[in-house]
Every structure is written in C-alpha cells, then in structure tokens.
Structure 1
C-alpha cells in the first residue's frame, strides 16, 4: 500500500510540475520519495584499477554516466554507465596525456565535465581546467588556473567554476607558488580570475592568535597558504574554501570575486573525557582517553547547508603535515623536549604505549620561546565540525564520535592511532525530504557515517556503512536526478580502486 501511495504522489507531483509555467524546460520535476536516511545499503560496485584509481567521481544526469579520476598508473578519466546502478559498467575513458596534466578532481553541470589538472611538466607551474562535453568527450575549453588545482566545482547555477589551487612547494623549497583560488565565469567565455591571499598578510598576528597557522619555514604569507577544497552556497553567491595546512577557511564573494574573510579555526582540547583519543599504535589496545594535547582542525573537505536562512559549513578535520627534504613539521612526541614545569611526568608520557608515538606539529607549542614545548599540538581534530558560515564560529564538534563509532563498527585501525585516528576525509550534506543529512567518509576506517544535521547544534547519528579501502570521494545523487529515482551515495576508494553505490530503503 505504501508503494502505491508513493507512486500516486510522484504522479501528482509530476503533473503539477509539468503544468507549472515557472518550471524551466530543462529541469526535471522533483520526485517525491519517502526514504529512510538511516538505511543506506550497497547495491552495486565496480573496480576500475588499483591504488589511486578511484579518487573523485562526478555524475552526469543527462547521460547517466559517472566520470572518475583514475591515476593508478594511468592518466585518464574513466567513464562508467550508471543507468543500472546495480550493474555499473565501464564504457570508455578520456585520455589526459596530451594536456600535460594529472587530474585531481572532476565536476559536472548540464553536460559539461570540468577536470582540474596539475602540471606534469612542473608541479609548481600553473595548472588548468579542461572542460569536456559529457556526451562525446569533445573539448569545450581549456582554462589556465593557479598552481596545483586540487579541487574543482561548479556553482549550483552553473555560472561559475571554482578551483582550490594548493600551490605546494617543491621538495627543496626553492619554488613555492602562491596558494590561490580561481573563479571561472562560464557564461563569459570562461573568463578566469585567480586570487591569492597576500592582502591578508597584514592580519597575520591577529589570525595566528586565533589559531591560523603560517609555518616557520614560509617564504611568504601568500606562498604558505594552501587552499584545499571548495563549497558554494545554494544561491551561488558565496564560497567557503578550506586551507588545510593553515587551519583556516576563507570566505569568498563570487559576484565581486573577492576573498572577504579568513576564519581561523582555533584548537581542540583533547584533555576531556568526551574528546579523549587513542594515541598509541604500539599498546595493542584501543582506549579513548584524555591527554594534555591540543589538535588543529586542519580540514580537508568542506560542505554547506542552511537553516532558517543561516548558512553553515561542515568540515572533515583530517589534519596534514608538510614533509619535504628542506623542511618537515612533523615529529614524534618522544623526540621533542618538554617544559619540565608544565609536564613533570614527561618521562612517563614519552613511553610508546602512552604519548610517545603521537605525531606533533614540530614548530608549535613553544609559547615562551625558550626552546622546549609548553604545549603539544597534533594534526587534525579526528572529527567533523559545523561552523556558522557568516561568522566562522564553531556551532558543533563531533568530539571523538567518529573514532568510537568506527571501533564499535569493527573497522577502527589501531595502527593509525598515532596519526589522525579514523582520519575524516570527506563530508557531504544533502537534503532528503525535510532533513539535512550529513555523510562523513573516514579514510582509515573504510566507512562512511551518516548524521541528521537538521538541527546544526545537535546532530543525530544514524548509521555506519562499510566502503572500499580508503574512501576519498563521496557523491550524493538526489532522487530527482538518480537513474532509479531514489537517492544514491557513490563512494570512490583510492586504496583499492573500487566505486560502490548505496541506496536507502523507503520508509
């Protein structure tokens, strides 16, 4: 009876949409589906290669194809037929060799595939975005952007393409291009504006006080900033960009093409029961305990949603070190010098079964400049966080829930306890009915977790789902665009090159 009622509702919605003069001709009518977001199950999978083969995936509703980055000994985008999600089939590829670039990210809007390519001639040189037609894979446009474009996305209205250009240094630090963002105007013959962060250098002391980080080895403020990931508001007016190594998020006005603010993300205190972490990979046990350590959020992926006209962004607080021949900012806790007055039990703390194995940020924590550490700062917050999109103030942090839920699920990797725990990598917020649902990919626990974030100050845990090895990309396909007319979650796992497709049950 439920299915009959749902079918009738869908037909009524379809009829109403088709008779609405305000409905754009190229926009499919919304499909009414009463789904349970706590019941996602795997319905299909496909392996496209080995390690690095399935990093990021985009979906084209026009052709019902997936386009997936494949860097496992190749340099191509794999094309997968998703018309039957239970039997995904590889049907083609786009060879990227001739573009002198390796792909990092893909995005799709209205039959256009945007691919972000870092230079294979010189990684520190400018990269490019190549736009392809999703039907015949012909090239529409090539656009030069900043160095090492790590992520690309379309604005919801399709008028803009944005890239986060990480601008990493070479291993000797003789070249360190500015970290930048590029804004491409699709409707203006793909005109591009690339922005750096130099103007914020005068705010460094204030930013650092609030937890923004510029490394001790930085050539300049602008060169040290490393944009990582972008999300754009539903009205296509505002973007938020993570700067992972810098522990910050930038706010961008798309109409004026200006960076309007940098939000420092501050520190997380692991010395509480609710934030307790497992810090040793040598103790043969999992114990989430308080420790006198702080964590820098250092987010990788970012997503957004709004409630009552207030924007929020969500971060996957992975953490990331800088490890180069000329400079490395990572050091084991047992190898650092601690202030004896602050840490009178230093000898005990340095045992490998205690804090000794924990990776710390080597050039942070000497607050009085006397050569020893007065506080310990580690990489990442082992959580997801929700922040106010207008002010950058934290609204909610998941504490140690991702690690604990991974342990309960049986996939927590104790051998990663010294370094980021379950390692939150990806976040996506999607609307399912009246609920805002958050999907969080945890790379080292080979799973994604779902939360109801309709109340951003009090998310509710829903489910943990097994994925392939090292999930990197999460993609939500709403029911209105799905080939099954049911919501789908696509998970791309770079550890084993497997793409898995998940679908929820009906209520």
Structure 2
C-alpha cells in the first residue's frame, strides 16, 4: 500500500498526473456532491442498496490525500489519512449530507516514548479509533526502512497536540484495535529501499494500551517477528510461502521477505490474522504472547477454471479460460464469526516485489529476452498480445530448472474476494464475478479502465478491477462484505452470512466516465467523482448520525471521502442461522470456484484456445489439448449465470 499512486500511473498519464498535482494539489477542500448518475446494479433478491449521499474533496489528484477513513460515533467525526501530508484530516459528519473539515492531526514534531521525534517528512499510512476516542495514527519514517511510529490523539480534541507516540517497526502500514480496546496492533510492512540496499524485517507491533485516553509507554510495545520460521528456527516454513530475492548473506532472509500488510482481530480478541501480501499468505498472531504462531499459504486461483480477461490488446471483453494461475495475495482483510467459528475475508488485490534494485515482474511475451528464461511449449503457443503476451507474471515462480523454461505462469491477484476458515482453508471465492459484473454494469468502452484515466481494457493485463479495500458489517443479523475496486472504481457488496455460500447483492460506482482525464484541471477532478477507493469503514445504524447504516470510502486518487447510505430494501425473513460447510475442497455451486492449493501444481493437460466470449483458436495442431473443451463449458456456464444469478438494473 505505501507505493504511492504517483509512482504507478500508466502510460502518458504519468507526466500529466505529476504536473496536475503540482498545479492544483493545494486547492481548497470542499464538499462534493455525488456524480449525476452513479452506476448501480443489484441482484434480484438484494436486501441492500448503496446510495452516495455526500462527499468531501481535497482537490489533490493522485497523491493519496484521502487514503484510509475511520468514523468515531462518540464525536460524529471521520478521520481521513492524508498520506503525503503526514496528517489525518478530521471531518465533522454530524450532518452526513454536508461534512465539514475541522482540523488536522499533525504528527510532525511529536516526541515518542523512546525520545525519537517524528520528522516533517513522515508519511501517515493508517488510522484507527477506539470507542472512547483514542486515535492511533501509523506513521512511516523517512527513510521508510527506518523504524516508524504510532502517534496517539484524542478524537474530541482540536488537533493542537498529540497525546504521545511510541516507536514501531519499519514502515507501519496499518493499525487497528482489538475488540476490547486493550491492544493496538500494527502491521510493519518493512519494504526494501528502491535500490534494494536495505531490506528491514517485517513484523507486527503488539501494543498494550491504558484504559484512559492516554498514549502507552514505549515499554508496552512488544514485537511479533518471524525469526522462528528462519532456517534452523523452531517452526518450519510452510511450503507455498513465497520467499525469494532478498539481500545475499542476510541473517534473516525469511523475515525480510515477509511484509505484513493488513490486520484483522478475531471476535474473542485472542488471535489476529495478518495478510502477508507478496508472500501470498496469512500470518496468525497470538496476542497474549505477541508471537506469530503460524503462517498459512493461500495457494492459487486456476484460471483454466476461473476465467479472466488477460489482455489489454484484444479489442474486446474476453473473459476466458487461460493456462495461468493467480496468486491470491490479499491486501485488506476482515473477519467475522459464524456458528462459533472465525472466518477471514480477503480482498485479493495482488502485489509484487518491484523495485529499482530488484523486480519479479515481466510480461509473458518478454520471457526469453533480456536474460529471462523462455516459456516452455506448449504454453509458448499463447505468447501473443491478444492472448497471454501482455499479461504481467512473476519470474520468481514457475521455472522448470531441468528444462530451463517456464512450465507454469503465475499472475498477481485473483481478481476476486475469498473467505477462509481459521486454518487457512478456502470456503468461498467469488471467482470471475467481479469482471463479469463490471463488464455488464459499466458504460461501453470502460471495462477494466484505470483510475487515472478512462481507457478501455487497460487493466486486463494486470489485476483487472483490482479489489483492494474491504469492510465487514452486520445488518439485521446478516453479515455483509463491502469491497472496493481500486482501478475501475466502485464498491461491491456480498452477503457472507453463510460463509460457504456468499452471494452478490449490489455494485455502485460513483464515477463519471465521461471525464477522460481528471488530471487536466480541478474542475475535471471534481466532476470525475470517486477514483481509487482505498479504505472503507462500515458504520452500523447504532453509531450513525442518521440512525441508519452508512459506509465511508476514502479514495486515494480523487482525494475524496464519500458517504454512502446503506438502505435496507426488504424486511429480513426469520430463519435458522446457516451452518457453514467447511471442507478442504468445497464443492462449487453456481460459481466455478476452485479450492486453494497450499502449493502450486501443474495445469491439467489443456488444449485449444480459450474463448469464452471470443475466439482465439490456434491453427494447425492444438498446442494445449483440453482448453477448448474447458472454454466451451465456461462459455455456456457464464451465459447461464448471466441469465439466472442476477438482474441488471
């Protein structure tokens, strides 16, 4: 998450984005109305609708000016991370239709418990608010490879002074509280330096908190590290956890590879789960001992079974079966309880180790050049721009050392969300829903568009809609997952009450796609709506100033914070609580959702060319026997799903 969007802008928009940021980055923040016609589609039996009711815009484009948002019921205030400014902006949401900025929580100059001082160049990454108003702000150092801080404030204060701070690990990326508020947990992502000269150890800070509104002492900070999983340690590193690259001769190569991204705490407050995104795993933290007790590898999504649109140069929406596997690589995660069991929900964004000094990323068509090993036959038959040639894959997995070529191809992210049991077993995955739903819902010509400009299909070669942000909420005894799409935008909602049989509810996108380049002027940015949803916070009815549920979304590219009313459409029908079916290999029902495998396995002997919604048949001998049959089945299956699973508004 700390990779700032300005560094990742696609194509010719990069220069414009930087110029725009300098030209109107200091524009005055104002209230923002929803776009005139938000896009919205729902299932036939949808119990909820999302309606954008207001927004607050900073006028800052593509500089993470509204990244993470948290609401505090006791003050009716929203705390929004403005990453590059190193502050949290405080917004008065007592009238959600007309939010007003009150002040900033400034971290620069705060003295921590160890005597260190937060510099003006520090970067704010995350914010959390305890029920009594204790605000915790995770702050990244400069350089980011040095230890960062957690700075504490009073939610009801005027922001003039902090309560104090404690030192955390390198690049504290996310902070949260345990359900009882006695502990703060920090995911210290510990990314390497751009030149890979320094790679700090990833860790989780476990901070004991005072009961009153006060900052903890430095002595209350304990560090949960990954040393036990190093060679010769007390725990075996599970097969399937991605460890590669790194600095030669490092004393702790495993710990340096593992980069905690996001944290969720189980309802009993005893266990936390940490997404370790690039390693494609979840870490399990025991809060009492402040130790990492387990690492759960998440396996891969087989895109022969779960189709994707793999090319930005095929001039079509072509969601098809391909001989590629996607690492789930979740960013945001959440958790909920069902029938006495804990389930973890993950937004499977995908991410890579991609730095100036080391990168694992290559397009399939570039394998075999610039010192990279080639693709093995018969996969090589698909290395064209309109098939797999443009797809970004990792060079760190899939190489057959015996033949010296890539026998398997692995992409970043699964373009889905998943539900996992406490032991890391996948009990549900949304499969190809996200691309199918957005393909049907969005205006013609904007499928898999980016957030920085409007361009058809330009994210198909790299993570598609890119599910990133996530919030879990309960309404009328039903549990919902709200997931934000970082690139094409919008929030999708699933009913996850039965973890093994989650169902699509609604999708809303508060974006005006007629604005092709939002970076050209403040007016264009303002009219564009929400770009790059990053952080989501569900506000239950009991805590909401309206008395009805609400969803707040922080949008890092448009610099906007948007409030959505969560409207209950039908009265729930009383029924017994569902009993989840938790098995290592769940049987798909309406969706072709594969079971995550702890270790990548070779694709089944495929053939033909994929073609759900398009024709890519190879001439002559079929290069991969079996894909044609799979594709034909999916073409029929996807058509049936379209007709029976949901109604488009």
TM-score greater than 0.5 by the shorter chain: yes
Residues 91, 173 of structure 1: alpha-carbon distance in 2 compared, 3 angstrom cutoff: same
Q: 2:49 maps to what in 1?
A: 39
1:27-176 equivalence runs, <5 A: 37-50=47-60, 51=62, 52-71=64-83, 74-98=85-109, 99-100=118-119, 101-109=122-130, 110-120=132-142, 122-136=143-157, 137=159, 138-176=161-199
Partner of 1:331: 362
Deviations 1:272-305 (A, max 9, x none): 2xx1000111122111101101111111010001
Give a deviation string over 1:330-372, Cα, whole Å, max 9, x none.
Answer: 00100114999953361x4111111000001012101344321
- Of 542, 560, 567, the residue aligned with 1:480 is 542
Q: How many residues align?
A: 465
Residue 369 to residue 215, structure 1, CA distance change in 2 (3 Å): farther
Alpha-carbon separation, structure 2, partners of 1:260 and 1:96: 33
Which residue, 460, 468, 485 being the options, matches 1:417? 460
| Residue among 219, 225, 235 paired with 1:196 | 225
Helix, strand or coil at the partner of 1:183: strand
TM-score normalised by the chain length of structure 2: 0.69
- Give me the whole-angstrom Cα distance separating, in 1, the residues matched to 2:55 and 2:373: 52
Query: Could you report, residue by residue, the CA deviation over 1:350-398 in whole angstroms, capped at 9, with x for unpaired residues?
Result: 1111100000101210134432101001111111010001x11111111
SS of the residue 2:138 aligns to: strand
Shift in alpha-carbon separation, 1:288–1:206, aligned structure 2, 3 A: farther
Report the secondary structure of 2:355's partner residue: coil
Measured in 1, the distance between the counterparts of 2:379 and 2:472 equals 43
Contact kept, 8 Å, 1:96 with 1:102, in 2: the verdict is no
**Structure 1 residue matching 2:323: 3-state secondary structure:** coil
Q: Secondary structure at the match of 1:440?
A: strand
How many Å separate the matches in 1 of 2:563 and 2:224? 37
Instruction: Please state whether the residue corresponding to 1:356 is helix, strand or coil.
Output: coil
Q: Secondary structure at the match of 1:77?
A: strand
Change (3 A) 1:184 1:332: same
Q: Deviations over 1:396-445 (max 9, x none)?
A: 11111111111122163210000001101012221111101111111112
> Helix, strand or coil for the counterpart of 2:256?
helix
Distance 2:441 2:221 in 1: 46
Alpha-carbon contact 2:172-2:189 (below 8 Å) kept: yes
Give structure 1 stretches of 5+ with no counterpart.
Answer: 1-35
- Whether 1:214 and 2:256 are equivalent positions in the alignment is no
Counterparts of 2:210 and 2:319, CA distance in 1: 52
2:207: which partner in 1? 184
Q: Aligned in 2, Cα 1:302/1:171: closer, same or farther, shift over 3 Å?
A: same
Measure, in 2, the Cα distance between the counterparts of 1:319 and 1:341: 22
Query: Is residue 2:276 matched to residue 1:243?
Result: yes
Matched, 1:446 2:489: yes
**SS of 2:278's equivalent?**
helix
- Higher share in strand: 1
| 8 A Cα contact 1:207 1:264, kept in partner | no
* CA distance in structure 2 between the aligned counterparts of 1:287 and 1:363, rounded to whole angstroms: 27
SS of the residue 1:457 aligns to: helix
- Are the aligned partners of 1:238 and 1:254 in contact in 2 as well (CA < 8 Å)? yes
**Which residues of structure 2 form unaligned runs of 5+?**
1-45, 110-117, 449-456, 511-529, 571-649
Q: Distance in 2 between matches of 1:298 and 1:175?
A: 23
Q: Partner of 2:230: helix, strand, or coil?
A: helix
SS in 2 for 1:454: coil
